[in-house]
Structure 1
Amino acid sequence: MAVVKVIELLAESEQSWEDAARQAVAEATKTVRGVSSVYVDNFQATVENDKVKNFRINAKVSFVIEKS
Structure 2
Amino acid sequence: MAVVKVIEVLAQSTEGWEAATQEAVNEVSKSVDNIESVYVKDFQAIVENNQVVKYRVNAKVSFLVK
TM-score, with structure 1 as normaliser: 0.96
Partner of 2:41: 41
Answer yes or no: is 1:23 the counterpart of 2:23.
yes
Task: Using the TM superposition, give the Cα deviation of residue 61 of structure 1 relative to its aligned residue in structure 2, in angstroms.
Answer: 0.2
CA distance in 2, matches of 1:51, 1:14: 11
Q: Deviations over 1:42-68 (max 9, x none)?
A: 0000000000010000000000001xx
Task: Could you tell me which runs of 5 or more consecutive residues in structure 2 were left unpaired when the two chains were aligned.
Answer: none
TM-score, with structure 2 as normaliser: 0.99
Task: Could you tell me which runs of 5 or more consecutive residues in structure 1 were left unpaired when the two chains were aligned.
Answer: none
Aligned length: 66
In percent, how many aligned pairs have the same letter? 56
Answer yes or no: is 1:53 the counterpart of 2:53.
yes
